[in-house]
Amino acid sequence: MKEKAMENENLWGALWKEELVSIELKAALVLEEEKKEVEIKVIELEVKMSKSILEVVVRGMEEFKASSKIKDLNIAFDQKAFIKGLELCEDRVA
């Protein structure tokens, strides 16, 4: 009877250890899944950041091109105005 009680106690101890190992493995699995989710979020944020940077660069280039066009238009207008003014002066002198 005493042997059966010892065997029973040993079995309960082994079962308890197996349960603890099972709990620890489940916790490790959950942590691994959370780690993967965080890694995916980091990658998504990196992609989003890269897209934002690219958009800013494109917008900056567009603004630069637009400013160059405006400068060209201003130069052309100034040239036409100068020529017109010169023609008016020449007409007065003649």
What pTM was computed for the model?
Answer: 0.52
In this predicted structure, the answer to whether residue 65 has a pLDDT above a threshold of 90 is no
14 Cβ contact list (under 8 Å, min separation 6): none
d(CA 35, CA 31): 6
pLDDT of residue 69: 80
pLDDT of residue 46: 97
Between 58 and 8, where is the model more confident? 58
Q: What pLDDT digit, counting tens, does each position of 8-49 carry?
A: 888 898 899 999 999 999 999 999 999 999 999 999 999 999
Residue type, 75: I
Q: Which two tokens stand for residue 40?
A: 């995916």
